[in-house]
DNA sequence: TCCAGATGTACTCATCCAGAGTATAAGGAG
DNA sequence: CTCCTTATACTCTGGATGAGTACATCTGGA
């Protein structure tokens, strides 16, 4: 590393996938070992890129094509697994986020889908502010003690003291809880109250995926990768709500959707689930929208 | 991979850093081998995380602390290096983006700083639309031929046919040029016109860093990591302009800065570089802002 | 049959912010 | 003293966003 010299290390490498679907207005992730682990697999394959290899594998597992696949993060800290195996070989995992269409049945094979709020119950604010949050902030407050910096972080991340709840901060919330000893730790009983645990750092990887997806749906039309071919606007809204863990304002949501011209009517109507039948829509992909959309802008001078 | 089984592969791994500084209103990257390569180094170290190991190394190389360090992407395609070494071992590199304070002298040692627009001359739109763009779009148009999809991509990425130039798409532009054979390729002479080449896929990695940084400065106050302790508002603006490759509207830029309350006056004035002396400001970091800022919002229902 | 409840759809209104332009203040150079 | 450059403070306008209201159209049950 000094100077020009390249000295490459050998590493133990694999892929880990956060595979998301939304069924019955509930976001779900594909898991193994009765919900304890995220699917992971070997690094080597005949494919040119990791991405295409992973894509193939997922399709063979779920029977559905992967609509969207994105590299999340590469996890390589020394203490990822509880007992680090001896020797200088570091274990690294490249995490991916994948979106698949809604599944009718969870599949007959090994992989199972679990609602992601089982792992992060405090992240679901659709009905009400979840009750667990009180226990959590209690614990965090005593962890913070007199440390002003810690207090500020807690307030900011968990929407205390008049600060708003920000759904994008899921990862940072989990990391803070981990730091404060509320997540994975030796003392089992108290833990179950704060969401279902997973092996190793899989829960952190899942949190990374959730945070990324929540941020992404705001400026990139990826939600449609989770929708069936035709859907009602409410169905679409419920899906976004499921992912973000928030309730949205219906008229405004509709206005946004149609002024972005992302969907078009199929001409059919839904066979009502209760009230008045709704128009069915389909996604209208465009090259332009597919790549980038809106987002905050710099105050560019035009001329 | 089938079922629960984990099968990990061994891989050849290293780190690659895109280290950015802004000097004299020019964004620069740290390079080795006379500007041909990005600095890269071994994977293994005694540090718990890659991040902290890399941080140490950079500080030893530049003599300055790294203000901001972020994982960029993990590059692992089979054809990264021209002649793939035989055997099943895939070469992977974890790319990082680092920001360091402005350098007075480029350093006496091996590493050199090069303006990043040497590598991407078509990305600098501060003075005028760069002239190279004409040659590029000519070549791309003939590459697209009658293919409507290709045409649309070219128009969108390069701001043709009335579409606006979008500075964030630097990576996608480079990838399109690569796909069309305008970037790295056997035929040297024509290439030099389209920016200085680098070894392997280093130029792509650099493009990734540029694109990420350009996107980031819009919703996260990372520019300040590139600024000296005190600075004028115009200096700050010039730095943002250097990174984004755009000219900004001065009054609006100032308005944005002060309504975000990111800076405070030091009380001193600049010893004028020409016109009226300007107030000096310093960055005012806050926990709140440090973590997340503004950004597009979902139409949340509040009550 | 008709009403209650649920859903779908179309408006209005106020506020805020971003893009754009203009005007004035305060220094240096000739 | 005048011109040039930079700094700083306003104004104006349009569009997007948050919030609320009104009305349409179905199902199911009293």
Residue A302 has pLDDT above 80, yes or no: no
* Per-residue DSSP letter, A8: P
Out of B117, B142, B165, pick the residue that ends a domain: B117
Residues of A in contact with B287 (CB under 8 A): 149, 152-153, 156
Which pLDDT band holds residue B21 (cuts at 50, 70, 90)? very high
A193 min Cα distance to partner chain B (Å): 27
Residues lining strand C at under 7 Å (Cβ) are A 232-234, 250-251, 254-255, 270, 273-279, 297-303; B 249, 251-252, 255-256, 272, 274-277, 294
Whether A211 maps to a domain, the answer reads: no
Q: Which nucleotide is nearest to B273 (CA to C1')?
A: D6
pLDDT digits (tens, 9 = 90+) for A137-157: 999 999 999 998 899 899 989
Whether A76 maps to a domain, the answer reads: yes
Residue B275 has pLDDT above 60, yes or no: yes
B113 shares a domain with B58? yes
Which pLDDT band holds residue A110 (cuts at 50, 70, 90)? low
- Which residue in B14, B294, B296 is closest to A9 by CB distance? B14
Burial track A188-212 (b if 16+ CB lie within 10 A, e otherwise):
eeebeebbebbebbbbbbbbbbbbb
Q: Which of A25-39, A101-115, A146-160 has the lowest mean pLDDT?
A: A101-115
Out of B68, B96, B117, pick the residue that ends a domain: B117
Whether A219 maps to a domain, the answer reads: no
Residues lining strand D at under 7 Å (Cβ) are A 249, 251-252, 255-256, 259, 272, 274-277, 294; B 232-234, 250-251, 254-255, 270, 273-279, 296-303
- Which residue in A57, A218, A219 is closest to B1 by CB distance? A57
B277 shares a domain with B187? no
A139 shares a domain with A85? no
Whether A187 maps to a domain, the answer reads: yes
Is B294–A294 a contact, with Cβ atoms under 8 angstroms apart? no
Whether A271 maps to a domain, the answer reads: yes
B158 shares a domain with B103? no
A28 shares a domain with A113? yes
Whether B217 maps to a domain, the answer reads: no
Q: Please report, for residues A113, A114, A170, the alpha-carbon distance to residue A119 in angstroms, rounded to integers and kept in the order given.
A: 12, 9, 12
pLDDT > 70: what percent of chain A? 78
Which pLDDT band holds residue B185 (cuts at 50, 70, 90)? low
Residues of B in contact with A154 (CB under 8 A): none
Supply the pLDDT for residue A29. Answer: 95
Is A10–B11 a contact, with Cβ atoms under 8 angstroms apart? yes
- Which residue in B9, B33, B247 is closest to A43 by CB distance? B9
B32 shares a domain with B99? yes
DSSP track, B32-61: BGGGTB--EEES--SSSSHHHHHHHHHHHH
Number of compact structural domains in chain B = 3
Is B149–A14 a contact, with Cβ atoms under 8 angstroms apart? no
Tell me if A247 sits within 8 A of A126, measured CB to CB: yes
Tell me if A216 sits within 8 A of A228, measured CB to CB: no
Is A32–B3 a contact, with Cβ atoms under 8 angstroms apart? yes
Domain that holds residue B187: 120-195
**How would you class B208 by CB atoms within 10 Å of its CB: exposed for 0-12, middle for 13-18, buried for 19 or more?**
buried
pLDDT digits (tens, 9 = 90+) for A37-48: 999 877 666 677
Can you give the CATH number for the domain in which B246 is found?
Answer: 1.10.10.10
Can you give the CATH number for the domain in which B70 is found?
Answer: 3.90.79.10
Whether A253 maps to a domain, the answer reads: yes
B157 shares a domain with B125? yes
Supply the pLDDT for residue B86. Answer: 41
Q: Which residues contact B6 (CB under 8 A, 6 or more apart)?
A: A14, A40, A41
A164 shares a domain with A124? yes
Strand arrangement, sheet containing B263-269: B230-231, B279-283, B263-269
Whether A300 maps to a domain, the answer reads: no
Out of A72, A87, A117, pick the residue that ends a domain: A117
B15 shares a domain with B113? yes
B165 min Cα distance to partner chain A (Å): 11
- Which residue in A4, A71, A218 is closest to B33 by CB distance? A4
Protein contacts on strand D: list nucleotides below 7 Å from a Cβ.
Answer: 4-11, 16-21, 24-27
């Amino acid at each position: 590393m000094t100077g020009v010299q390249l000295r490459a290390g050998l590493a133990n490498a694999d892929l880990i996938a956060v595979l998301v679907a939304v069924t019955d207005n509930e976001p779900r992730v594909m898991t193994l070992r009765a919900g304890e682990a995220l699917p992971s697999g070997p690094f080597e394959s005949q494919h040119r890129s990791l991405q295409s290899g992973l894509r193939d594998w997922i399709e063979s597992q779920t029977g559905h094509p992967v609509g969207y696949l994105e590299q999340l993060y590469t996890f390589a800290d020394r203490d990822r697994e509880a007992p680090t195996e001896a020797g200088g070989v570091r274990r690294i995992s490249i995490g991916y986020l994948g979106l698949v269409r809604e599944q009718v049945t969870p599949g007959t094979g090994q992989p199972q889908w679990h609602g992601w709020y089982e792992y992060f119950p405090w992240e679901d604010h659709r009905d009400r502010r979840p009750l667990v949050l009180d226990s959590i902030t209690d614990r965090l407050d005593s962890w913070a003690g007199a440390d002003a910096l810690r207090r500020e972080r807690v307030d900011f991340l968990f929407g205390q003291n008049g600060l708003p709840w920000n759904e994008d901060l899921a990862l940072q919330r989990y990391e803070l809880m981990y730091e404060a000893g509320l997540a994975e730790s030796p003392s089992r009983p108290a833990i179950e109250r704060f969401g279902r645990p997973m092996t190793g750092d899989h829960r952190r990887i899942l949190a990374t995926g959730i945070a990324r997806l929540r941020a992404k749906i705001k400026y990139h039309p990826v939600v449609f990768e989770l929708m069936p071919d035709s859907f009602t606007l409410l169905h679409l809204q419920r899906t976004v709500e499921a992912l973000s863990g928030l309730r949205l304002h219906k008229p405004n949501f509709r206005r946004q959707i149609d002024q972005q011209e992302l969907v078009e009517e199929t001409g059919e109507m839904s066979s009502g689930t209760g009230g008045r039948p709704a128009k069915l829509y389909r996604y209208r992909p465009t090259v332009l929208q597919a790549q980038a959309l809106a987002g905050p802008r710099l105050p560019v001078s035009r001329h």
